[in-house]
Amino acid sequence: MSEIEVGERYVNLFPFSEALSEEQRFLCFDVAKTNLFWLVEPRIDAEGIEAARGNPKALSIDEYMDTVTRRHLQGLPVPFVDYWAGISAQGDCAIAEHWGAYRETMIRRAHEAQRRILNVEESGNVLRLNFRRACNG
């Protein structure tokens, strides 16, 4: 398995087609880039892969993903958002420069993805958690 295929999947990858634009193609192969795009672009829920066509966020993610950010995106989403907030505040990452514009969206979606990944079930004020998965994640 190559580095672009490993890690937690916040959302499923999309099927590849030759008709896809360049900025859409990573959503078919690259788990980390797809995770980041899913965190910053809620339109992907309704529009699917079309949300990336001509999208400056997709273009930036595809062009500027660095190895440290990739490694963090291969883990759980909530710790990734903590990392992202740190590099955004320092201005160390080209794709983090607009953190303020989508900060709340990323935090909300990170928590949503983490609940899904860890199989957290909410029932009123009771949370059920797959502890084995949470401890190994």
Considering only CA atoms, which of 122, 117, 118, 116 is closest in space to residue 130?
A: 118
Return the pLDDT at 7.
85
Q: SS3 for 78-109, per residue?
A: HHHHHHHHHHHHHCCCHHHCCHHHHHHHHHHH
pTM (2 d.p.): 0.83
10-34 b/e with 16+ CB inside 10 Å = b?
Answer: bbeebeeeeebeebbbbbeebbbbb
Q: pLDDT tens digit string along 13-40?
A: 999 999 999 999 999 999 999 999 999 9
Return the pLDDT at 15.
97
Cα separation, 125 vs 133, in Å, equals: 21
